[in-house]
Amino acid sequence: MADEQEVAKLTRRMDLMDQRLDNIDTMVTAVAERVMSQPIVMLITCPHCHKVVEITIIGTGKIVK
C-alpha cells in the first residue's frame, strides 16, 4: 500500500513538473517570437572605463515549430 502511494505521489509530482516545463517553453517561445519580430538594443556600460557599448540584435527569420 505504501509503495502504491509513493508511486502515485511521484506520478503527480512528475505531472506538475511537466506542466511547469510546458509553461516555461510557452514563455520562452513567446519571447523568442517577439525578438524575431523587432530589434532589441542593449546598452552596456564598461565597469572599468565607463564607456557605453550599444549592441543591437535584429531577427531576420521566423521560428518554425
The reported pLDDT for the residue numbered 64 is: 64
Please name the amino acid found at residue 28: V
Mean pLDDT of 17-21: 94
Listed in order, strand segments (DSSP E) in the chain are 40-45, 52-57
Its pTM stands at 0.51
CA atoms lying within 13 Å on the CB side of residue 45: 2
C-alpha cell, 64: 518554425
Distance of alpha carbon 58 from alpha carbon 41, whole angstroms: 9
> Would you kindly state where each structural domain of the chain is located, as residue ranges?
2-57
In whole angstroms, what separates CA 19 from the centre of its chain? 14
pLDDT band at 24 (very low <50, low <70, confident <90, very high): very high
How does pLDDT run across 34-63, given as a tens digit for each residue? 777 778 788 999 889 999 999 887 776 665
